[in-house]
Amino acid sequence: MKKKLLSLLLLTVVALGSFAGCDGLKKNSSTSVDSSTVESSSSVPEIEKIDYVSQLKLDMATETIKQEVTVKTYIDGDTTHFFPKGSTANMPTIVQDDGFLKARYAAVNTPESTGTIEKWGKRASDFTKAQLETAKNGGSIILETEGMEWEADSTKKRFLVWVWYKPAGATEYRNLNLELLQEGLAVGSKAGTSRYGELCNKAISQAKALSLHVYSKDKDPDYFEGQVPEIDLKTLRTNIDSYVNKRVAFEGTVTTYSDWNIYVEDYDDATQMYYGITAFYGYNGALHSHLAPGNRVRIVGNLTYSENFGYQISNLKYDEFEPDSADNVQNLGGGHAPANQEVTIDEFFSKVEVETEVKNPETEEIELVTKEFTYAELAYSTSVCMKNLKVTRAYTTNNGGDNDGAISLTCTSGGKEITIRVHAIKDSNGEMVFIEDDLVGKTIDATGIVEAFNGEYQIKVFLEENLIIH
């Protein structure tokens, strides 16, 4: 009887072991990468990463168009502007007219890092830039078309291309489109039916199996998880009416304080301009050190508009008990200087066309829209410098308020007028540093923040060293 009972127990153990083994085989057989790349393990299988990019070779003899280029501007992970090298005879007319090509990488779609910011978007953008930077100083970049002609994307202004780069000192080109897929920094966009579809599919399958970046559940260190949309200041500034009375999050550099307000600005590679906004932090002392001039910050707040204050961000928060909260203001590090972008009076009032990405509410697709602004309108709340201005008139505020002693200077250059508003700057004895008699008839250089008063754009100077009298 004891022997029978022991035999039954042994059979049960063997049977359970068999079921467990079958389940394990099923899990391994469903893995999309080749089984030779999977190492046996008593726990989770380890997958050896294959460099599919090294298996793809640039063939200059195929029927596709190839064009050697250099980088003009980095936009994001899957968009770069390139200057053509050599003849442009086989390039689209718009490229010959503009002098550069707006390239949209074929077969890939990286997370957004301009406009609305998405998880892993900054990482993808940084990766693309880092790889192309290796092609400087002796390297090379070649664009290849998918077919026998240049193919425009939905914007009709960008062209779908395969981007090949050869690092300085290397002998072979690497395909950046495939590399983005391999690193899990992009999802496929008609990748399987593309020219290099087979390798694209393998790279995507491997990135999924390895749970890389966009296929990962890991936290992106460059992205704040929260319910508020992450955007950039260019998008906010060029679509500002769309965000009024909404809560937004963005990054920028604090340039100066003014009466519990700060000015925040950020640079946009595509337009080579700075964009800014004013933020009011409501007498919140906890925020004061985080928002010090020179700090790179992430701001979360409500965009409001009023006739008195114009557009500004308000309702900023900082919870000391939850400093990493996605709804908090974040100090990302100090040591940053204001742009103080030098601009002439002609440029200040000139018209500027800007391409901005806007989501179509009906199709949910991102569309590229061209809008016209004045330079001053775009540069609102950013730091600028204007030189060689002749002061023709001056008016000092004296109405018993906080602005007593501030001076409005009417200045001219090249037949145009601009107002320079000089803050009430006092010395250590409480005396005004600047008075009208010191300034009228003089030539000055003014560095300050672009503001508006009574519908006119002006420059406001806050510091003594930012007004130079010749």
The per-residue pLDDT for range 212-229, each reduced to its tens digit, is 999 999 999 888 777 788
For residue 142, give both structure tokens: 């070649």
pLDDT at 20: 37
Looking at 161, 184, 215, the residue that finishes a domain is 215
Q: 21, exposed or middle or buried, with CB in 10 Å at 0-12, 13-18, 19+? A: exposed
196 and 267 fall within a common domain = no
Assigned domain for 26 exists:
no
Q: Are strands 341-342 and 383-396 parallel, antiparallel or unpaired?
A: parallel
For residue 128, give both structure tokens: 């693309």
66 and 184 fall within a common domain = yes
Assigned domain for 368 exists:
no
CATH code of the domain in which 299 resides: 2.40.50.140
> For residue 151, what is the DSSP state?
E
Looking at 284, 317, 336, the residue that finishes a domain is 336
For residue 199, which of 174, 165, 216 has the smallest C-alpha distance? 174
Residues 6 or more apart whose Cβ sits within 8 Å of residue 418: 345, 348, 349, 386, 389, 411, 412, 458, 459
Q: Is 243 helix (H, G, I), strand (E, B) or coil?
A: helix
For residue 132, which of 92, 87, 180, 89 has the smallest C-alpha distance? 180
328 and 425 fall within a common domain = no
Q: Report which residue type is found at 174.
A: R
Helix H, strand E, coil C: the string for 292-333 is CCCCEEEEEEEEEEECCCEEEEECCCCCCCCCCCCCCCEEEE
pLDDT band (50, 70, 90) for residue 324: confident
For residue range 27-56, what is the model confidence (pLDDT) as tens digits?
A: 333 333 333 333 333 344 578 999 999 999
73 and 179 fall within a common domain = yes
pLDDT band (50, 70, 90) for residue 248: very high
Assigned domain for 17 exists:
no
pLDDT at 346: 97
> For residue 244, what is the DSSP state?
T
- What number is the average pLDDT over the span 11-19? 37
Among the ranges given (115-119, 409-413, 462-466), the one the predictor scored with the smallest mean pLDDT: 115-119
d(CA 112, CA 187): 12
pLDDT at 361: 60
For residue range 92-101, what is the model confidence (pLDDT) as tens digits?
A: 999 989 899 9
165 and 277 fall within a common domain = no
Q: Is 441 helix (H, G, I), strand (E, B) or coil?
A: coil
User: In what helix (H) or strand (E) does residue 438 lie, and over which residues does it extend?
Assistant: helix 436-439
59 and 122 fall within a common domain = yes
Residues 6 or more apart whose Cβ sits within 8 Å of residue 454: none
Assigned domain for 388 exists:
yes
260 and 295 fall within a common domain = yes
73 and 161 fall within a common domain = yes
Q: Report which residue type is found at 73.
A: T
Q: How many residues does the chain have?
A: 470
- What number is the average pLDDT over the span 376-385? 96
Question: 158 and 78 in contact (C-beta within 8 Å)?
Answer: no
Please identify which residue in the block is written with the tokens 């955007």: 231
pLDDT over threshold 70, residue 25: no
Looking at 165, 183, 215, the residue that finishes a domain is 215
pLDDT band (50, 70, 90) for residue 364: low
Strand partners, 165: 141, 174
pLDDT averaged over the chain? Answer: 87
d(CA 89, CA 196): 26
332 and 397 fall within a common domain = no
- What number is the average pLDDT over the span 288-297? 92
pLDDT over threshold 60, residue 22: no
pLDDT over threshold 80, residue 4: no
Assigned domain for 21 exists:
no
209 and 239 fall within a common domain = no
Assigned domain for 6 exists:
no
Assigned domain for 9 exists:
no
113 and 158 fall within a common domain = yes
Q: Report which residue type is found at 412.
A: T
Phi, psi (5° rounding) for residue 426? Answer: -115, 150
Q: 206-244 burial string, b = 16+ CB within 10 Å, else e?
A: bbbbbebbbbeeeebebbbeeebbbbbbbbbbbbbeebe
0.85 cut: is pTM over it? no
- What number is the average pLDDT over the span 11-40? 35
Tally of domains in the chain: 3
pLDDT over threshold 90, residue 1: no
pLDDT band (50, 70, 90) for residue 173: very high
Among the ranges given (74-83, 139-148, 352-361), the one the predictor scored with the smallest mean pLDDT: 352-361
d(CA 355, CA 372): 9
Strand partners, 166: 140
What's the domain range around 59? 52-215
d(CA 235, CA 295): 21
189 and 57 fall within a common domain = yes
CATH code of the domain in which 99 resides: 2.40.50.90
Assigned domain for 20 exists:
no
